Amino acid sequence: MSRPEHLAPPEIFYSGEEAKKYATNSRMREIQTTLSERALQLLALPEDGCFLLDVGAGSGLSGECITEAGHYWTGCDISKDMLEVAVEG
């Protein structure tokens, strides 16, 4: 199974409209929250707040969990539109 970014530029699959749909989809939000919370558990970070780099940050759903856990983050992503949704969020 091919990943979308291997088939065409990110603007095709992650346009502004698609990025907003992704960020507001309740199922995607649930999945990203569950995965992010588990990742933070596995990292066993100190409670005084760490700075994390979120590679493939997309619309910032994982970043929301990072912030809620008391940490700081910077995200990067292949899709400019996804990052714009993250900044708006």
Residue 37 has pLDDT above 70, yes or no: yes
Burial class (CB in 10 A: 0-12, 13-18, 19+), 22: buried
Segment 54-70 shows an average pLDDT of: 95
Per the structure block, which two tokens stand in for 30? 């649930």
Residue 2 has pLDDT above 80, yes or no: no
- Of 2-11, 32-41, 77-86, the one with minimum mean pLDDT is 2-11
Q: Can you say whether residue 2 is alpha, beta or left, with left for phi > 0 and alpha for psi between -120 and 50 degrees?
A: beta
Residue 10 has pLDDT above 80, yes or no: no
CA-derived radius of gyration, the chain: 14
Question: What pLDDT band is residue 1 in, cutting at 50, 70 and 90?
Answer: low
Q: Which of 36, 40, 85, 29 is nearest to 58 (CA)?
A: 85
Predicted confidence at residue 29, as pLDDT, reads: 95
CA pair distance 40, 30, nearest whole angstrom: 15
